[in-house]
Structures are given as structure tokens and as C-alpha cells.
């Protein structure tokens, strides 16, 4: 298997790690890609970015009321 951030994963395809990556574990290496994209265009004055580990993505929420989402522009 492969060790990643202190956790042992089996050989083969890993759909989702605890840290929100998808990986391929081989005898000699492990390759991973993130399952999330980073918001870049949003109202930085009134909004903030928080990581949602349940959905493996970032949420853009209002600074004064984090229960409300902000409109987002494009993601990278």
C-alpha cells in the first residue's frame, strides 16, 4: 500500500482521501490530484473563503453571516 499523511491506503485507485484528494497508489509511487477548486473572483471585502471538508470544496460566505453564501465569479 501507500502511506499518505500518516494513513495507509491500499494499492490501486483511491476515490477520496481524508484530505480531499483522489490518488493512484502503485508499488513505487503515489500520485494525487485535489478534488477541490479555489475561488479567485469574489467580493473580498464582504465575503470570505472557508473549506468544506464534507463536500471537498471551498465555500464563499458572507463575513458577517457565514450561513449565507456569496455570489462567486470564476474558479481556478
Q: Give the per-residue pLDDT at 14.
A: 95
How many Å apart are CA 28 and CA 31, to the nearest integer?
Answer: 10
The whole-number pLDDT of residue 72 equals 55
Question: How does pLDDT run along the chain (76 residues), one tens digit per residue?
Answer: 899 989 999 999 999 998 999 999 999 999 999 999 888 889 999 999 999 989 999 999 999 999 999 875 544 4
Q: Count H helices, E strands: the chain?
A: 0, 7
pTM: 0.70
| DSSP-based three-state secondary structure for 15 | coil
Helix (H) or strand (E) holding 47: strand 47-52
Domains defined for the chain, CATH in brackets: 2-34 (no CATH), 39-75 (2.20.25.590)
60: which residues sit within 8 A by CB, 6+ positions away?
Answer: 39, 42, 47, 48, 49, 69, 70, 71, 72
pLDDT of residue 58: 92
Amino acid at each position: 500500500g501507500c502511506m499518505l499523511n500518516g494513513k495507509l491506503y491500499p494499492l490501486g485507485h483511491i476515490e477520496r482521501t481524508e484530505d480531499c484528494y483522489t490518488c493512484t497508489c502503485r508499488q513505487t509511487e503515489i500520485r494525487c490530484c485535489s478534488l477541490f477548486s479555489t475561488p479567485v473572483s469574489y467580493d473580498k471585502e464582504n465575503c470570505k473563503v472557508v473549506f468544506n471538508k464534507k463536500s471537498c470544496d471551498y465555500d464563499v460566505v458572507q463575513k458577517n453571516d457565514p450561513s449565507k453564501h456569496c455570489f462567486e465569479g470564476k474558479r481556478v
